[in-house]
Structure 1
Amino acid sequence: MSKHHVDPAAVPPETEDSAAEELTYRLRQQQLAAEYGAYALRTHDLGALLLEATRVCAEGLHSRFCKVMEYLPDEGSFILREGVGWRPGLVGHARIGADLESPTGYAFQTGTPVISNHLDQETRFRTPRLLAEHGIRRAINVLIQGDGGRYGVLEVDSPTEGRFTQADLAFLQGFANLLGVAIERHQGEDALRTSEARLREALAHQEVLRREISHRVKNSLAMVAGLLSMQKRTSSDPALEKALDDAVARVTAIAQVHDRLWRADEVDSVTLADFMGEIAQQIRATAHPGQTLSCDFAPVSIATDQAVPLALLVNELVTNALKYAYPSGEGDVQVAIAPGAPGRLRLTVSDQGRGLPPGFDAEASDSLGMTLILGLSHQLRGRIDWQDLRPGTRFTLDFAMQRKAGA
């Protein structure tokens, strides 16, 4: 808001008959109030709002002194929050009592404006020391409040002889009402910023906890895999060694899937192509020379709750194919996840190897690997189809896609 210079004509009229002077004076007050309203809309600094309000009100009532007295409920008194004309060091520190014996306290507690044009002759109130020390002879006080409650008092004081009128009171009260709205807006914005800051802190803390828990889960799974490997080294039973190798591979796969998820920025969903691409890369790292894995994953997002069993299922199918489809140890396994019917995905894992054994029945199999494949497929609520390609085998799972957790 620009600094205004008082128009020489826009001063309090000397007599009640000075109609032209009165009109000029009141029009100037309206102009000041309108300009301050525009300033308040674009300013978000409460201190600047209060200071400008006191400057403009002092100008509007042709005085050197104006102040905003903020009520401090814990102290039961007012603090000179902002003002113009006062000696250095008083703004932000000076206190005034809030009892009914002071004009400021009376205006605040009763909500009734106070005009006192002769403080030295005042019988209704005592003159606060702050006013006496500055030689204040007359004062006008109005309540500042918004819908959320009372903030304090807006007061214009003058050391000169003269009078504040009901028209002056109307100007100051209207200004205080405008100031009350501006303060309330600022308090609302401040509360919102505080809430947002607390929310950011809570989310950051939650993220730290999530990462810490995930890190501990990963370490725990790694410990389990290590214990299984130690048990294998003490065994002389080939069948047990093979079972323990399979167990280590599965626990490691679960740890890798978990590690991938907690490192992702998304919590409720993952990008299928990126997520499964990393899982496939981890499988390739464990394959024998001459074994290859070809992948094609749709660039869609699915729920994390669905991505975990899907990744474990792919890991089980692909490792089984690499292990059993090619007795020579060389060959390619193809895995694809592509859109099927609307809202559905189709997982396909195929090879050109030895094919399914005679009389193959997945439901009747007692192998742990097949039990895991069936269990994970049922968890995805999909329809399974095994095909003997001669040569090779194709596994297909058709399932509904979840785009986020709980969908």
Structure 2
Amino acid sequence: MLPRLIPPSSLTVYKDELTLSKFDECKNRIMSMALVHELLYQEENFQSLDFNNYIRTLIDYLYNSFELAPDDIKFNLHVDNLKDVNISIDTVIPCGLILNELISNSLKHAFPESSFSANGSTPQKEITIKLYKEANNLIILNYEDNGVGLPQGFDFTKSDTLGLQLIVGLVQQIKGPIKRLEHTGTAYEINFNVN
């Protein structure tokens, strides 16, 4: 897969951390798309994807990519069995990229080392993903972390960061609204329909 296509020796050309960071972001985006294709080909039916397996695989990949220790962040994943729902690859890939951006943003920004409580201890860092189907083939994706959150009054739809711009653009691509939820950290709800 991708890590074999881009050997570590090719990274020695890039010395500064910003360039390496941007390269890693691109690599993670490509991996989220490659995972969709890899998992689809493992299914008997190329039309549907086991979202639970996909999200867990994506989380594992990002966890390793960010070089996290096993107890650094607790992931709570709640995915209804969506195997009976036919979600086209044109929707699956943007959903994978959206999750990649949300998880990556949390891993990079939600849990700074300086976010200790007054007594010197930190609460368990958590990311929660819920994906379920409601009536009329409406899929709900809830994403939240218990990190530092976004600044008061911050409008993520007008952000100049590539990650948030991608999220907004990809949600538009799947014709779904996205809203920021009131939460201790950062939380979003994304809705989209499947045919």
TM-score, structure 1 as length reference: 0.40
1:238 positional shift: 2.7
Paired residues of 1:356 and 1:388 also in contact (CA < 8 A):
no
Alignment of 1:316 with 2:110, yes or no, is: no
Alignment of 1:361 with 2:158, yes or no, is: no
Q: 1:326 aligns with which of 107, 111, 116?
A: 111
In structure 1, distance between residues paired with 2:25 and 2:33:
12
1:249 corresponds to: 28
Secondary structure at the residue paired with 1:266? coil
Q: 1:265 aligns with which of 44, 66, 76?
A: 44
Alignment of 1:339 with 2:140, yes or no, is: no
* Corresponding letter in the other structure for 2:181: Q
In structure 2, distance between residues paired with 1:281 and 1:259:
15
Any idea what the Cα deviations from partners look like across 1:18-56, whole Å, max 9, x if unmatched?
A: xxxxxxxxxxxxxxxxxxxxxxxxxxxxxxxxxxxxxxx
1:293 corresponds to: 75
* Corresponding letter in the other structure for 1:378: Q
Any idea what the Cα deviations from partners look like across 1:205-249, whole Å, max 9, x if unmatched?
A: xxxxxxxxxxxxx56x852xx17x555422233322221221222
Paired residues of 2:28 and 2:100 also in contact (CA < 8 A):
no
Secondary structure at the residue paired with 1:310? helix
* Corresponding letter in the other structure for 2:80: A
**What does residue range 164-183 of structure 1 map to in structure 2 within 5 Å?**
none
For residues 235 and 270 of structure 1, do their structure 2 counterparts lie closer, same or farther at Cα, with a shift above 3 Å needed?
Answer: closer
Structure 2, gaps ≥5 residues long: 116-123
Alignment of 1:399 with 2:192, yes or no, is: yes
1:397 positional shift: 0.2
In structure 1, distance between residues paired with 2:11 and 2:161:
19
Count the aligned residue pairs.
180
Secondary structure at the residue paired with 1:342? helix
**What does residue range 147-226 of structure 1 map to in structure 2 within 5 Å?**
218=1, 222-223=4-5, 226=6
1:360 positional shift: 1.6
In structure 2, distance between residues paired with 1:237 and 1:399:
39
* Corresponding letter in the other structure for 1:313: I
Secondary structure at the residue paired with 1:257? helix
In structure 2, distance between residues paired with 1:355 and 1:269:
34
1:293 positional shift: 1.2
1:269 positional shift: 1.9
In structure 1, distance between residues paired with 2:9 and 2:162:
21
The answer to which structure, 1 or 2, has the higher relative contact order (CA under 8 A, 6+ apart) is 2
Any idea what the Cα deviations from partners look like across 1:183-215, whole Å, max 9, x if unmatched?
A: xxxxxxxxxxxxxxxxxxxxxxxxxxxxxxxxx
Kindly report the root-mean-square deviation, in angstroms, between the aligned alpha carbons of the 2 structures. 2.5
Any idea what the Cα deviations from partners look like across 1:87-125, whole Å, max 9, x if unmatched?
A: xxxxxxxxxxxxxxxxxxxxxxxxxxxxxxxxxxxxxxx
Larger-gyration structure (1/2): 1
Secondary structure at the residue paired with 1:302? coil
For residues 248 and 318 of structure 1, do their structure 2 counterparts lie closer, same or farther at Cα, with a shift above 3 Å needed?
Answer: same
Paired residues of 1:254 and 1:312 also in contact (CA < 8 A):
yes
Q: Percent identity?
A: 23
Secondary structure at the residue paired with 2:181? strand
Structure 1, gaps ≥5 residues long: 1-217, 403-407
Paired residues of 1:276 and 1:297 also in contact (CA < 8 A):
no
In structure 2, distance between residues paired with 1:241 and 1:263:
32
Q: 2:15 aligns with which of 236, 240, 243?
A: 236
Q: 1:302 aligns with which of 72, 78, 86?
A: 86
